[in-house]
Amino acid sequence: MSMTFSGQVALVTGGAAGIGRATALAFAAEGLKVVVSDVDAAGGEGTVELIRAAGGEARFVRCDVTRDAEVKALMEAVIAAYGRLDYAFNNAGIEIEKGKLAEGSEAEFDAIMGVNVKGVWLCMKHQIPLLLAQGGGAIVNTASVAGLGAAPKMSIYAASKHAVIGLTKSAAVEYAKKKIRVNAVCPAVIDTDMFRRAYEADPKKAEFVATMHPVGRIGKVEEIATAVLYLCCDNAAFTTGHALAVDGGATAI
């Protein structure tokens, strides 16, 4: 059975790279118009170029998801460009800690919570009125396996991703009767530039990280994109408030 999309317009935050870029490409390949958003304009425009080169329709809108006014303006730009919003993938996130809980700084805490939690909250705050006015839609937020359990040396990040799941579940229940579905995707370690930068200098560490996944490898960005599209599509009409681990079995151990 193939995925069916009755909507026409998708928004991806953090769309300049990694999981966001792959998901923007996947939405476009399904024939959806895509608004790619990020603080990284060069990367975001690069995603748009890739979509256009493949015959798709997209445009870039710069937005820092930590700024209320910018997030509001982003949603206005989506409507100005394409007239509606059907699917929102709130995916912008940062991962900057390097030490145990007692070694963290207030600046790290504020930065991580600002992007990962406030950013997702602001996006949903400004998306939901649009979806209500249209009579429905679907939202997927990027959490992490660090939203489902401990993440040693990444405690603030883990707290932020647990919070993403809390926002997701609460919004799902609040708006379930209004035909707005809200789910989260929880990736384990995924092969992105971030991962390569961190581990290319130390192949032994990279091998160890692979063994943390029962399937014996880390994930691919396309594998997360597929899960996001599923959670958005009509086939998932009965799925809301769910945090879907896409993790090679990592959380099953």
90 touches ligand NAD (CB under 6 A) = no
CA distance 242 to 234: 15
Among 24, 36, 60, 91, binds ligand NAD (CB under 6 A): 91
Contact pattern for ligand NAD over residues 192 through 211, marking x by CB under 6 A: xxxx----------------
Report, in Å, the least distance between residue 79 CB and ligand NAD. Answer: 19
Residue 26: is it exposed, middle or buried by C-beta count within 10 angstroms (0-12/13-18/19+)? buried
Q: Which stretch binds ligand NAD (CB under 6 A): 132-140, 170-178, 182-190, 209-217?
A: 182-190
Report, in Å, the least distance between residue 40 CB and ligand NAD. Answer: 4
Among 38, 78, 140, 227, binds ligand NAD (CB under 6 A): 38
Among 117, 189, 228, 236, binds ligand NAD (CB under 6 A): 189
**Based on CB atoms, which residue is closest to ligand NAD, 93 or 177?**
93
Catalytic residue selected from 82, 157, 175, 199 = 157
The secondary structure of the chain, three-state, reads: CCCCCCCCEEEEECCCCHHHHHHHHHHHHCCCEEEEEECCHHHHHHHHHHHHHCCCCEEEEECCCCCHHHHHHHHHHHHHHHCCCCEEEECCCCCCCCCCHHHCCHHHHHHHHHHHHHHHHHHHHHHHHHHHHHCCEEEEEECCHHHCCCCCCCHHHHHHHHHHHHHHHHHHHHHHHHCEEEEEEEECCECCHHHHHHHCCCHHHHHHHHHCCCCCCCECHHHHHHHHHHHHCHHHCCCCCCEEEECCCHHHC
248 touches ligand NAD (CB under 6 A) = no
- Per the annotation, the verdict on 157 as an active-site residue is yes
Q: Which stretch binds ligand NAD (CB under 6 A): 16-24, 73-81, 176-184, 230-238?
A: 16-24
92 touches ligand NAD (CB under 6 A) = yes
**Based on CB atoms, which residue is closest to ligand NAD, 83 or 249?**
249
Report, in Å, the least distance between residue 164 CB and ligand NAD. Answer: 8
Nearest alpha-carbon partner for 158 in 104, 207, 212: 104
66 touches ligand NAD (CB under 6 A) = yes
Catalytic residues: 157
Which residues contribute to the site for ligand NAD (CB under 6 A)? Answer: 13-14, 16-20, 38-40, 43, 64-66, 91-95, 115, 119, 142, 144, 187, 189-190, 192-195
